[in-house]
Structure 1
C-alpha cells in the first residue's frame, strides 16, 4: 500500500500537467460524446515534429557534444561573473535549437558541478535562476525553441521570416537584460580546472558516427519545420534510422509531453464544440490576447495556454509573445522551470524557499520590462 502511495505521489509530482490535461479532456467528453471525429482534433504535424525533434536532440545530447562545447568555453573562465555568463549564454543560445527543457537538463547539472568544484555553492541560486530565465527567453526566438512556438507556428502557418520578426526584438532585449544582470554580479576570482574526460571520446568512432547521423537528422527536421519536407516522410526517416542505429534513444523521448498535447487537443476540440464556452472565450480574447495569454500561462503554463487560446483568436503575434513572455513569472508558467528547481532541490543544503523567492523576483523584473517594451512598441 505504501509503495502504491509513493508511486502515485511521484506521478503527481512529475506529471502534474499531464494529469490535469487528461482530467479536463475527460470532463469535456461528458459534453461532447467521444467519436472518430476526435481524430480531427489532433495536429499530427505538430505531434510528429515534436517526437522527431525530441528524439534527435536526445541523440545529440547522448553523444556528449553539448558538454564538450561547454568545456572548451569554460577553459578561459577566471571569475564568477564570466562563469555565469558562459552558462547563461549556453542555455540562451542552445535553447533556440535544442529547446529550453533540453538546454536546462544539459547545462544546469553541469553548472552545479562546476560551482561545487570551485567552492562557489553560494552562487547556486542566482546562476540556476538566471540559467532558467535564459533558456526560457532564448527559446522564444525560433519555432523549434519550445513546444508552444512549434504549435503556434504550425497552427497559424506563419512564415519563418514573420516569426523571427515577431520574436527577434524581444530576444535581443532579453539577452541585454541578462547581460546587465550578470555585470551587476561580483567579479569574484575562482580557480577552475576542467578534467576533460570527453577528450578520450574523440577517438571513439561510434560517437563520431552517431554525431554525424544526428546532425543530418536534425537538418531533416529543419527542412520539415520550414515546410520543405512532408512531416510524414520526416517521421518515417527519423524513426527508422534511430530504430536501426540507436534504438535506446527512443526510450528517452518525452512521451508524456506528447500525450499532454493529445489531451489538450481533445480538450480544446471539445470546448470549441460547446457554444456557450466558445462564445465566452471568443469575446474575452478580443483585444486582450496578450494579457489573457500572460495570465493563463501563470496558472496552467504556456504550452496548454497556446493550445487552448489558439482556437479562439487569429491574433497569432499576441499569442506567440503572450505565451513566450508568459513563461516568466510563476514556477509553472514554463514547465522547463520545474526542471531547474528539481535539480537545485537535490543539492546539499538546498533552500527551496529562498530559491522560489529569488526566482519570483528575477522573473517578475524580466516580465515587467518585456511587457513594458511590448506596450511601447505596440501603441
Structure 2
C-alpha cells in the first residue's frame, strides 16, 4: 500500500497495462526502446549535474546581482526557464525552488513569495518545451514523428517567445523592495566533472537528433558514468521508465480498438490540439502524448497541445506536483493561498497561450 501511495502514476499505469493485456495482447514490439534507453541516459547525466552543484553555483552568482525583490524573482525565473531547457523541468524545480524558498527564510518581509514560487514552476514547464530533450513528452514525440529539428525549434520557439513576454509581465507584479544583506555560504562546483558531464550530454543530444545510433551510444555513456560515479545509477527514476513501458503497452492495445482509432483519426488538427490540452489537464501531458500520438498525423497539434497543456491544473504536469510539494514542505500554512494563485496564473496563461496558438495549428 505504501508503494502504491508513493508511486501512484506507476501503479495506475501498471494496472491499466495488465488490464489491456488481458483484454488484448502483450507485444514487446509496442515498446519504443530508443525512448526508454535515451531517457535513461539523460536521467543519469541530469543527476550528475545536480550532484556537482553547477546550477546552484550559477543561481548564487545571479543572486548576488539582485538589487531588489523584483530583480530576485526575475533572475530566478530566468534561470528556471534556461535551466529547464537543458536539465528538464523536474530538475530545474527540484534545484531552484528550494534555493529560492531558503532565501525567503532570510527575508521575512519579502512580499513576492507566492508569485515568485508559482512563476519558477511555470517557467520550468515552458522552458523545457523548447528542445526535443527538454522533457519526456518532447523526447517521445520528436522520435515518434521524426520531426525536423529546425521545424521543432520553429514551433516551440514561438511558444517560448510568447512565454518569455508573459512571464516578464507577471514578474512586474512583484513589489520592488530593497533586499536585506544576505550572507551566503560560498557555493562551488566540480569543474572537471562538469566538463565531462557536458561532453556526455552533447553526445546524448546527438543521439536524440538521430546522428548517433542509440544501441551502442547509450551503453557507452552509461559505462562512462559507471566508472566516473556509479552512485548516479541509484538516483535514476526507474519508476518513470517503467511507467513509460506501461504507456507503450497500453497504447499498443488501445490501437487495436477500431472505434478509438477511427474516432481519433477523424479529428481535425485543431480538434487534436484541443484534445491534447484537455487530456493533459486530467492525466498529465506525458501520458496524453503517449495516448494521442499513435492515432493522428497532426504532429504540430500534438506537440503544441501537450506542451501548452502542462499549464492549468496541478495534474497537468508532474513538475507542477513536485513544485507544489516543495512549497508545502516550506510553508504548509500558505498552501491554500499558493494553490489559488497557482491556478489563477496557470489557467490564465493556458487560456492566453492556448488561444494564441490555436490559430497557428494547420
TM range (shorter): over 0.9
**1:312 equivalenced with 2:303 (yes/no):** no
In structure 1, which of residues 32, 46, 64 is the aligned counterpart of residue 24 of structure 2?
32
Q: What residue in structure 1 maps to residue 116 of structure 2?
A: 127
In structure 2, which of residues 58, 68, 84 is the aligned counterpart of residue 95 of structure 1?
84
Give the distance between the partners of 1:23 and 1:282, measured in 2 at CA: 27
Q: What residue in structure 2 maps to residue 70 of structure 1?
A: 59
In structure 1, which of residues 15, 18, 41 is the aligned counterpart of residue 10 of structure 2?
18
Give the distance between the partners of 2:33 and 2:109, measured in 1 at CA: 46
Unaligned runs of 5+ in 1: 202-206
SS at match of 2:232: helix
Q: Tell me, yes or no, if the aligned pair for 2:59 and 2:79 is still in contact at 8 Å.
A: yes
Q: Tell me, yes or no, if the aligned pair for 1:118 and 1:192 is still in contact at 8 Å.
A: no
Q: 1:79 to 1:238 in 2, by over 3 A?
A: same
In structure 2, which of residues 306, 314, 327 is the aligned counterpart of residue 331 of structure 1?
314
Deviation at 1:121, TM superposition (A): 5.8
Q: What residue in structure 2 maps to residue 204 of structure 1?
A: none
**RMSD between aligned residues:** 1.6
Give the distance between the partners of 2:171 and 2:154, measured in 1 at CA: 27
Deviation at 1:287, TM superposition (A): 4.6
Give the distance between the partners of 2:181 and 2:147, measured in 1 at CA: 45
Deviation at 1:297, TM superposition (A): 0.3
Q: What residue in structure 2 maps to residue 367 of structure 1?
A: 350
**1:232 equivalenced with 2:224 (yes/no):** no
Give the distance between the partners of 1:289 and 1:344, measured in 2 at CA: 34
Q: Tell me, yes or no, if the aligned pair for 2:88 and 2:128 is still in contact at 8 Å.
A: yes
Q: Tell me, yes or no, if the aligned pair for 2:273 and 2:358 is still in contact at 8 Å.
A: no
Deviation at 1:279, TM superposition (A): 2.4
Give the distance between the partners of 1:19 and 1:323, measured in 2 at CA: 22
Deviation at 1:277, TM superposition (A): 2.9
Superposed, which structure 2 residues align to 1:253-292 within 5 Å? 253-284=236-267, 287-292=270-275
SS at match of 1:318: helix
**Count of residue correspondences:** 362
In structure 1, which of residues 134, 142, 161 is the aligned counterpart of residue 150 of structure 2?
161
Q: 1:144 to 1:286 in 2, by over 3 A?
A: closer
Give the distance between the partners of 1:128 and 1:42, measured in 2 at CA: 37
Superposed, which structure 2 residues align to 1:240-251 within 5 Å? 240-251=223-234
SS at match of 2:130: coil
Deviation at 1:194, TM superposition (A): 4.4
Superposed, which structure 2 residues align to 1:109-128 within 5 Å? 109-120=98-109, 122-128=111-117
SS at match of 2:23: coil
Q: Tell me, yes or no, if the aligned pair for 2:84 and 2:127 is still in contact at 8 Å.
A: yes
**1:342 equivalenced with 2:331 (yes/no):** no
SS at match of 2:333: coil
Q: What residue in structure 2 maps to residue 53 of structure 1?
A: 42
Give the distance between the partners of 1:377 and 1:316, measured in 2 at CA: 13
Q: Tell me, yes or no, if the aligned pair for 2:40 and 2:241 is still in contact at 8 Å.
A: yes
In structure 2, which of residues 140, 148, 169 is the aligned counterpart of residue 151 of structure 1?
140
Q: Tell me, yes or no, if the aligned pair for 2:13 and 2:243 is still in contact at 8 Å.
A: yes
When normalised by structure 2's length, the TM-score is 0.96
Give the distance between the partners of 1:176 and 1:194, measured in 2 at CA: 32
Q: 1:197 to 1:248 in 2, by over 3 A?
A: same
Deviation at 1:325, TM superposition (A): 0.3
Give the distance between the partners of 1:343 and 1:121, measured in 2 at CA: 18
Q: What residue in structure 1 maps to residue 186 of structure 2?
A: 197
Q: 1:286 to 1:78 in 2, by over 3 A?
A: closer
Give the distance between the partners of 1:163 and 1:342, measured in 2 at CA: 32
SS at match of 2:187: helix
Give the distance between the partners of 1:211 and 1:246, measured in 2 at CA: 12
Give the distance between the partners of 2:82 and 2:338, measured in 1 at CA: 24
1:152-179 deviations in whole A, cap 9, x for unaligned? 0000001110101111111100010000
Deviation at 1:359, TM superposition (A): 0.7
Q: What residue in structure 2 maps to residue 175 of structure 1?
A: 164
When normalised by structure 1's length, the TM-score is 0.92
